[in-house]
A and B are shown apart, each in its own frame.
Chain A
């Protein structure tokens, strides 16, 4: 399965609310989250990919039923976007919570797998973390 351009744009928008520019010292800023999630989507078995597809659809149109606004997710303020994601993550419905968690996982997989993030965190063999250096000095 492949993302459409619209889905890729929406995935990028949602993921940037989860992992905004400036996160982790700005190390995720250069990542095209939508494109990376699209790449991962194309490699994922269809039954799992379909959850991502439904998740993006639900989040995109959730302002209609959660905020009672005639807007899509991309057309509301950042604070409202965060509020919507928070409400979905705490939904009483298990599958809605899972969908929300999968979108967060997609954003983190796409944005936090790069070498710059690993170097910033001091993960694996990419050097000692900023925080560690600061705490030891």
Chain B
């Protein structure tokens, strides 16, 4: 384990610091680095394990089991079960995502200023300054030709011919070898997860990062937050023991859109706040497979290398290439018997694109008092599905414009494969979640920021209303969803708020 990183199950936990940060993903990593650089003593507590790249495998089930919350089995429930993928590991979801970097769109920021009173806290010039620092430190650049895939080139061609704006995806990586295994954790240490970048920088400035440290309550004296309590997980002499840690200056919750509100609720903070745990939002997405006559070899190259973003403002849809593991791709193919075997043999000729939606739906998250976990309720609207099927239709059209011989819609009630003259089948695709294979990524909103303490959980500086010294710094503070991948926005907003905290 690198210097500054500790396994709580082996060593126990340091008990005092200026700042305690709960969670080590995008928000926690950025806060840790900023505050440690400012000279404060910082303690980062992460529930999941620390996994060095040498320990990472390539088998999907084992990766899910090792890296993801509930072994990748977490789901939101409405009419359908929607998997909600979150890592539970040092580095959080930055450890398993595709490293896609987008600045917060100006229109979204303007809406936050106008409708949520965040002009004072979320200043454009401060955010720009934070973005620039992160982009430099995280080696952000467009996907290079050396790791671009056949699927990437097809998306570029299809989007160009369809007249939809497109670009090579910008990622935080250094010396990517195009192993196609981002979703299992980068075994080349090329992806700049917070584990190998921001947390490491933080430890160089004195921060201490503890894995297997599950925080269960926020400690308060009067209304002021003064520390945390929790239980040590993992395997080792300290495993199963409770711990208590004190913070002189602040406690920062950066535990994710699901865990952060539930930690507040378990700590009996904000129970009378109508926003706590509500306004859960996401970018639900589904995939569309194009069959080509030339090999796409969808398991080598950048895991996600190209995107068509020109439908964001009209349909609220972004189309991206995505390489998924062979066993996952195979499980979504239609048919059984000879039909299925023939499909399996064509796996290397498939280009898989995801269609991600800026959904208008809102759900909620609550702790499960009985099971000790989290309950997520989420139901996309019929308007969402109207736009989803239009997005799928445009993506299918792009596949055909790029030369696909057939498309696999993957939607219940539609044919298993369609040709270019059957695009209209998408017009009759179902308008509820039971017809689609949807996964929710990019979560937002359950501790939304705002100036009204009755309808928001944190203020414009991310301090919890009515609880001095307690902050939330993750995507749960976003008052709306963003339409783009949120890691960069989370890190920038966390950097900005941490700078203010350090100088206060």
Given contacts A44-B71, A86-B336, A124-B181, contact A132 B65 (CB under 8 A): no
Known A82-B337, A108-B330, A113-B59: A129·B344 in contact at CB below 8 Å: no
Asked if A123 and B60 make an inter-chain contact with CB atoms under 8 angstroms apart, the answer reads no
Chain B residues with CB under 8 Å of A18's CB are: 336, 340
Within the complex, the shortest CB–CB distance from B147 to chain A, in Å, comes to 13
Chain A residues whose CB sits within 8 angstroms of the CB of B330 once the complex forms: 108, 112
User: In the assembled complex, which residues on chain A have CB atoms less than 8 Å from the CB atom of B347?
Assistant: 121
State A97–B81 Cα separation when bound (angstroms). Answer: 12
Q: Is the CB of B295 within 8 A of A135?
A: yes
B319 → chain A, closest Cβ, in Å? 23
Whether the pair B294, A104 counts as a contact (CB closer than 8 A) is: no
Residues of B within 8 A of A128 (CB): 297
Give the residues in chain A near B294, CB-CB below 8 Å. Answer: 135
Residues of B within 8 A of A82 (CB): 336-337
Chain A residues whose C-beta falls within 8 Å of the C-beta of B325 in the assembled complex:
123
A67 at the interface (CB under 8 A from B): no
* Residue B327 interfacial (CB < 8 Å): yes
Q: Bits for B437-448, please: 1 = Cβ < 8 Å to A, else 0.
A: 100000000000
Task: Report whether B61 and A40 are in contact in the complex, using a CB–CB cutoff of 8 Å.
Answer: yes
Q: Which residue of B lies closest to A22 (CB)?
A: B341
Chain A residues 87-137 with CB under 8 Å of chain B are 89-90, 94, 97-98, 101, 104-105, 107-113, 117-118, 121-125, 128-129, 131-132, 135
Report Cα–Cα, A24/B342, bound state, in Å: 9
B65 and A43 contacting across the interface, CB-CB below 8 Å: yes
**How many Å lie between the Cα of A47 and that of B80 in the bound state?**
16
| Number of A residues, CB within 8 Å of B | 44
Residues of B within 8 A of A23 (CB): 341, 344
Q: Assuming A44-B73, A118-B326, is B60 touching A129 (CB within 8 A)? A: no
In contact, B336 and A85 (Cβ under 8 angstroms): yes
Q: Are A94 and B331 in contact (CB under 8 A)?
A: no
Q: Residue A109 contacts which of B81, B331, B332 (CB distance < 8 angstroms)?
A: B331
Neighbouring B residues of A123 by C-beta, 8 Å: 58, 180, 299-300, 325-326
Cβ–Cβ < 8 Å partners of B299 in chain A: 118, 121-124
Q: Please report the C-alpha to C-alpha distance between residue A16 and residue B337 in the assembled complex, in whole angstroms.
A: 10
**Interface centre among B71, B79, B330, by most A CB within 10 Å?**
B330
Query: Which residue of chain B has the shortest Cβ distance to A40 in the bound complex?
Result: B61
CB pair B341 A20 closer than 8 Å: yes
| With contact pairs A108-B327, A131-B349, A135-B295 given, residues A124 and B73 touching in the complex (Cβ less than 8 Å) | no
Contacts of A135 in B (CB 8 A): 294-295
- A132 to B181 CA separation, bound complex (whole angstroms): 20
Neighbouring B residues of A111 by C-beta, 8 Å: 327
Q: Which of B80, B179, B334 contacts A94 (CB 8 A)?
A: B80
What are 10 inter-chain pairs, A to B, with CB distance below 8 A? Answer: A45-B73, A48-B73, A101-B332, A109-B61, A110-B61, A113-B59, A117-B326, A124-B180, A129-B297, A132-B295
Q: A-B pairs with the 7 shortest C-beta distances?
A: A123-B299, A94-B434, A112-B327, A113-B59, A105-B331, A82-B337, A48-B73
Residues of B within 8 A of A (CB): 58-62, 65, 70-71, 73, 79-81, 179-181, 294-295, 297, 299-300, 325-328, 330-332, 334-337, 340-341, 344-345, 347-349, 412, 434, 437
